[in-house]
Structure 1
Amino acid sequence: MLNLKLAWRNLWRHPRRTWLTIAAMVFSNVLLVFMISIQFGMYHRMIDNTLRLMSGHMQVQAEGYQDLPRIHKVVTGVVALAEELRQLNPEQVRVAARAQGFALVSSEERSYGAMIMGVEPAFEPQVSNLPGLVKQGDYLVPDSDDQVVIGAALARNLRVSVGDELTLLGSGRDGSFVADVVYVRGVFDSGVADLDRNVIHMPMQRFQASFAMGDAGHSVVIMNHDVYRLETLKAELQPALAEHPQLRLLDWQELQPGLRQAIIADMTSAWFMYGVLIILVAFSVLNTQLMSVLERTREFGIVLSLGLTPARLGRLVMLEAFLMAALGFVLGIALGVALVAYLNVNGFSIPGMEEAMARYNLPTHIYPSLNVWVLVLGPAIVWLGCLLASFYPALRLQFLHPIEAMRSSQ
């Protein structure tokens, strides 16, 4: 308790210097809380937006389908399985069955190859943004039969529009010849060239009949309300899949490894800048503590000559740094959390971003991530850096000789 009182009193011998150092810590802590929460909020948005176009947060697939997609690698009873998984947690989990094959698509004038996706019209909008990106006509409905929705680039290439006829030629699951005639119900524009040029959505029942799939499909797409809680959801879904040993439950990191690598690369560059900021603050604390030690050299020599050990003096200096860092930590966390909490409710938008995001059927505001780990991580590293910076001034006291110290003019 005595050391605590002494450290607190020593801290305020020069209040202006102490407050300037604390202000530097508070500023850096608020900036780190804001930047890290925005960064993780953007990652959440990036993951969610990317996965909503096609893959979803997780998928149930046949063994080996992810590595080498083939039409015969199927999930038997795919619609029934999707309904079973849907009932496990209907409030937070969205599930839709899919199947896919390739066909030559012909209009009256042109022919192009495309990927035909069999979807559940009633549930596909819950796991994908594409249904909301239909710019001409309408998306599929449960009673759609011979209708399809195609990408805008493919529609231009084929020179077709809503209501026009398309002929599909391909190969079915059993190797049979696929020939079907369908009509364009809608045209979507996702802004992603590969999707707009190559993808056609067809009702699942029509796809299964045309491609000789029976009751099978190729995947069950799963979207959770929170991408950061997929491990919990994965544990909940595994028992339901235990009766299907030939199936695999893959999360987004397995489905989209490139997205994970992009996030890691961005995080690495961001933490390099955060590290520079933390080092600058640590040097500020080092400067403050070193000045404090040097100007008290004479005093330290006197107390050393009276029998006080250098180790105890070192602990006193460390305690002063601890108290100063703690003040910066608490004030920085308080102000940072207040700022992030406000933005988490109201969000903010970058000028010019609203129009671009609305075009792709995406939210127009950015919301920072609000969780304890994200909020505390940056300030905790600053606090640790400040403590490490105080080691050098404390270490100087271990080599201080009482007589030389008392002769010091400092």
Structure 2
Amino acid sequence: MNVTLTMAWRNLWRNGRRTWLTIAAMIFTNVLLVFLISLQLGMYDTMIENSLRAFSGQMQVQREGYLDEPRMRETIAGSSAITAMLREQLGIESITQRAQGFALASSQERSFGIQLIGVEPAYEPLVSSLPGLLGEGRWLSDSNAEEIVLGRVLARNLQVQLGDEITLLGSGADGSFAAGLATVVGILDTGLPDADRSIAQLPLGTFQSIFSMPDQAHALVFEFPDLNQVPARKSQVETLLSKKQLLAQFQLAVHDWDALQPGLRQAIMSDMVSAWFMYGILIIVVSLSVMNTQLMSVLERTREFGIMLALGIKPGRLGRLVLLETLIMSLLGMFIGIFIGYLLVAWFAHTGFTFAGMAEAAAKYNMDEYMYPQASLLSLFWGPGTVFIGGMLAAIYPALKLQRMHPIEAMRAV
């Protein structure tokens, strides 16, 4: 094996320029894949976080069955005490109560059926990004204030402005008639027409009063510093609720973000597949380059291989020699590419990556204008590992040519 390794190393540098060009192509591809995959994974985290903060939160406690069929009467009784207990036991403040229901909203000009969401004004900004997307006015001030915040499109449809009153009519949790008044104090501009058409939030206390839900909520919403904490925190919350005998008593269920927004992961997987289609083309081009290099190397040494076959060396050993040469090139390209790619990712993970026009778009959606690549074993080795496998597969064809080589014909080659 040492002799074969020595021969493979020496054969590579017979034509050093060609070898380095092939290795350089692999290095460039690997650096590009490491950076793009790291940037892609970082963008996915940002996309998930922004989507969760705008709508569902990272985790929720609800009544069993409410997620599949959200009915008004499926409430969590004593929700304020449960929320306070969880804040104390988990050591975080970013837990809030929410309630939702449907109502007929009427202004002086128009009436529309809308979905109302009751929120805690003091804690909602810790969980949701919507309070930071106010285009006009202010956020809700007090849990019992008769105030409401509307999306811009909904406000336009109702033909209301700041200071106007809206009449809310609906059905309470106990089946009673629900009615109330709320003054528009803020108009949200999320930049998403569908969201701006449907968002209507008012203080939780006011919501509970209108819909006959004293100290009740439909969901307890959680936000953690790191999305990776969700699985462990979910188990912790389930354990706490079980110890307090609340899971069985109130028939509660704990849902993580994947259950709350199943389409989000599917969208990410779809984007990943489309991205890997482009990556695959790049990998195929590099693999063909490797095959071309090794094929030329075999053809140049046809006479030499013929002599070796005539001396009794088996074709299989020559094939392994070609594969070993490819292995050395692929390993050099992979590890050098990973090293340079890691340095590039580490730099942009610190400084951030942006481009022209990103700042304006990010400000519109209350996002950071910089994207931060996420270095991990997956992002570092996924792309280069695929290039390595592609290069080794590409070397099979030149190696197989040696199996059909005849010593006499090979020695006659010029």
TM class by shorter-chain length? over 0.9
Aligned residues: 408
Structure 2 residue 294 is the aligned partner of structure 1 residue 289 = yes
**Distance in 2 separating the partners of 1:391 and 1:84:** 64
2:143–2:204: 8 Å Cα contact kept in structure 1?
no
Secondary structure, counterpart of 1:145 in structure 2: coil
Hey, what does 1:7 align to over in structure 2? 8
SS of residue paired to 1:109: coil
C-alpha separation between the residues in 2 aligned to 1:81 and 1:396?
A: 73
Relative distance call for 1:308 and 1:80 in structure 2 (3 A) is farther
The whole-number CA distance in structure 2 between the counterparts of 1:5 and 1:25 is 23
Q: State the TM-score, normalizing by the size of structure 2.
A: 0.92
Matching of residue 69 in structure 1 with residue 70 in structure 2:
yes
Corresponding residue number in structure 2 for 1:21: 22
Among residues 279, 283, 295, which one is paired with 1:278 in the alignment? 283
**Separation in 2 of the partners of 1:221 and 1:143?**
17
Query: For the structure 1 residues 386 and 247, does the alpha-carbon distance in structure 2 shift closer, same or farther, using more than 3 Å as the test?
Result: same
Identity of aligned residues (%): 53
Q: In the TM superposition, what is the alpha-carbon distance from 1:381 to its structure 2 partner?
A: 0.3
Letter in 2 for 1:118: G
- Show CA shifts across 1:181-223 (max 9, x none): 2222222221222332332222222222221112221112222
CA-to-partner distance for each residue in 1:313-350, whole Å, 9 max, x for gaps?
Answer: 22221111011001111111122111111111111223
Partner of 2:382: 377
Which secondary structure does the structure 2 equivalent of 1:141 belong to? coil
Within 5 Å, give how 1:135-146 maps onto structure 2. Answer: 135-142=135-142, 144-146=144-146
Whole-angstrom distance in 1 between the partners of 2:78 and 2:368: 35
State how far apart, in whole Å, the 1-side matches of 2:287 and 2:6 are.
24
- Change over 3 Å in CA distance of 1:278–1:88 after alignment to 2: farther
Instruction: Provide the rounded CA distance (Å) in 2 between the counterparts of 1:228 and 1:273.
Output: 29
Question: Does the residue aligned with 1:14 lie in a helix, a strand or coil?
Answer: helix
Aligned to 2:97: 97
328, 331, 354: which one aligns with 1:349: 354
In the alignment, which residue of structure 2 is the partner of 1:150?
150
Shift in Å, 1:88: 4.7
Q: Secondary structure at the match of 2:94?
A: strand
Q: CA RMSD in A?
A: 2.0
Provide the rounded CA distance (Å) in 2 between the counterparts of 1:197 and 1:273: 36
CA distance in 1, matches of 2:381, 2:33: 9
Letter in 2 for 1:64: G
2:150 aligns to what SS in structure 1? strand
Match of 2:342 among 322, 332, 337: 337
Q: Is residue 38–residue 379 contact of structure 2 (8 Å, CA) maintained in 1?
A: yes
- Secondary structure of the residue aligned to 2:65 is coil
Distance of aligned partners of 1:114 and 1:270 in 2 relative to their CA distance in 1, 3 Å threshold: same
SS of the residue corresponding to residue 61 of structure 1 reads strand
- 8 A Cα contact 2:165 2:184, kept in partner: yes
Question: CA distance change for structure 1 residues 401 and 236 in 2, over 3 Å: closer, same or farther?
Answer: farther
1:122 aligns with 2:122: yes
Q: Is the 8 A contact 1:101 1:117 kept in 2?
A: yes
Question: In the alignment, is the contact (CA less than 8 A) between 1:113 and 1:198 conserved in 2?
Answer: no
Can you give the 5+ residue segments of structure 2 that lack an aligned partner in the other structure?
A: none
**What CA deviation, in whole Å up to 9, does each residue of 1:278-320 have, x standing for no partner?**
1111111111111111211222222233332222222221111
Aligned-partner Cα distance in 2 for 1:346–1:52: 24
How much does 1:118 deviate? 1.1
Q: Which moved more, 1:250-259 or 1:282-291?
A: 250-259
Tell me the equivalent position of 2:80: 79
Structure 1 gap segments, 5+ residues each? none
Moved over 6 A (4+): none
Give the TM-score normalised by structure 1.
0.93
The match for 1:321 is: 326
More deviation, 63-72/107-116: 107-116
The alpha carbon displacement at 1:357 in A equals 1.6
Q: Which residue of 1 aligns with 2:36?
A: 35
Instruction: Pick from 249, 252, 266 the counterpart of residue 254 of structure 2.
Output: 249
User: Contact 2:167–2:182 at 8 Å: present in 1 too?
Assistant: yes
Cα deviation per residue 1:102-148 (whole Å; 9 max; x = unaligned)? 11122333322221211111111122111111222211234552222
CA distance in 2, matches of 1:366, 1:165: 41
Rounded Cα–Cα distance in structure 1 between residues aligned with 2:64 and 2:269 = 28
**Match runs of 1:178-217 below 5 Å:** 178-217=178-217
SS of 1:174's equivalent in the other structure is: coil
Cα distance in 1, alignment partners of residues 142 and 159 from structure 2: 27
**What is the one-letter code of the residue matched to 1:226?**
D
Q: Cα 1:408–1:234, aligned 2, differ >3 Å: closer, same or farther? A: farther
User: What's the CA shift for 1:363?
Assistant: 1.1
Offset at residue 380 of structure 1 (A): 0.6
SS in 2 for 1:367: coil
- Residues in 2 aligned to 1:143 and 1:274: alpha-carbon distance in whole angstroms: 52
The AA in structure 1 aligned to 2:76 is: V
Matched position secondary structure for 1:12: helix
Alpha-carbon distance in structure 1 between the residues aligned to 2:308 and 2:142: 87
2:406 & 2:88 partners in 1: Cα distance?
Answer: 76
CA shift, 1:384, in A, is 0.9
Report the AA paired with residue 177 of structure 2. Answer: F
DSSP-derived class of the 2:52 partner: helix
Question: How far apart are the structure 2 equivalents of 1:269 and 1:334?
Answer: 26
Deviation for aligned residue 1:89: 4.1
